[in-house]
Amino acid sequence: MKKRNFSHTGAEVSRMGIGAMSFSNFYGEVSRDEVFAILDAACDLGVTHIDTANVYGKGDSETHIGSYLAENPESRSFFHIATKGGITDRSDPNRLFNNETGYLEGQLDASLERMGVEQIDLYYIHRRDPHVPIEELTQTLAGFVASGKIVGFGYSEISPSSLRAAHAVHPVAAVQSEYSLSTRTPELGVIQTCADLGTTFVAFSPVGRSLLTDKPHGLQVAQAMPFLAKNPRFTEPNLSLNIAATAPFRALAAELGLTAAGLAIAWCLAKGDHILPIPGTRSVEHFKGLVAGSHYGLSAEELNAVEATLPMGWVNGDRYSAAQWAGPERYA
């Protein structure tokens, strides 16, 4: 497995990670055995980066990871663990996010306890709280580094200008945003700013929440998932249009000897040496296809063929509904 570097922390990780939202019930019920099977496969295949969050399954994802580490203590030094905080329990509908120092420290301590670790390698602010200036928030995170609770920190779904403001206070190890052939907004500044600042760009949902796989979710499956049931790309008529539009992409992947999801990962990696995709899955077979894609280096001709198959703007529907847009910073 080739590597990616977090230049501001010195960490070297696999060039593809695991998006551990799939270790909760977000996309369907998941068992402890399924989680352990993916982590076993990751150890076998050299995938070292795990990216989770305290809100995934209300702590279930972190708890599964902690259980695995407890039963396989040697894996703690193998895995580079990232998690997130800053989203509230929604008990106050007027305060969806809280980036105050005391609140974040409590969330961080709870994550450490659930995973049974003394230090987290990468800690993200999951969503910005408009009540807390990013410079002040960055000072809080720098304090967590100084205390030894985290090695480095990052931000999820922030704008290029916010990244520069934070980085002026303390180096930002990573920025995480949705990025795939179906969501290319980060190309309008975030990916470039990350490259300029030496910040790793972590791409979540790199297979388009199934649209860029061999078996995209149909309407019945999507409607059974609360998030997708309200997502514009997975409601009709957009869903049928999107499945039809991605058929040539699946055919191209087969021609190249890859799964569609594997080709989506290969494309993502070809877009920059500082980009780290973190697909999620509950299937070991699917995971192996993703890893195969991470090993495949697209030629310039193949990259052009992929982007001709799914040119920028091909997708039908916004990536979020109005309610789902709460939190991410829009900048273009």
pLDDT for residue 156: 98
pLDDT for residue 74: 96
Query: pLDDT, tens digit, for every residue of 182-194?
Result: 999 999 999 999 9
Q: DSSP letter for 171, please.
A: -
Which are the contacts of 325, defined by CB distance < 8 A and separation ≥ 6? Answer: none
pLDDT for residue 236: 98
Instruction: Give per-10-residue mean pLDDT for the chain (332 aa).
Output: 94 98 86 96 98 95 98 97 94 89 98 98 97 97 98 98 98 98 97 98 98 97 95 98 98 98 98 97 96 97 98 97 95 86
Query: pLDDT, tens digit, for every residue of 294-314?
Result: 999 999 999 999 999 999 999
| CA pair distance 196, 89, nearest whole angstrom | 35
Let me know the angle formed at the C-alpha of 168 by 170 and 163, rounded to the nearest 5 degrees: 90
- The answer to whether the predicted template modeling score (pTM) of the entire model surpasses 0.75 is yes
| 142 in Cβ contact with 161 (< 8 Å) | no
Catalytic residue among 27, 56, 179, 320: 56
CA 44 centroid distance within chain: 21
Helices (H) and strands (E) in the chain, counts: 13, 10
Report the residue count for the chain: 332
Q: Where are the beta strands (DSSP E) in the chain?
A: 3-6, 11-14, 18-19, 49-51, 80-85, 120-125, 150-156, 174-178, 200-204, 275-278
pLDDT for residue 92: 79
Q: DSSP letter for 77, please.
A: T
56 labelled catalytic: yes
| CA pair distance 243, 82, nearest whole angstrom | 32
3-state per-residue secondary structure call for 78-102:
CCEEEEEECECCCCCCCCCECCCHH
| 213 in Cβ contact with 260 (< 8 Å) | yes
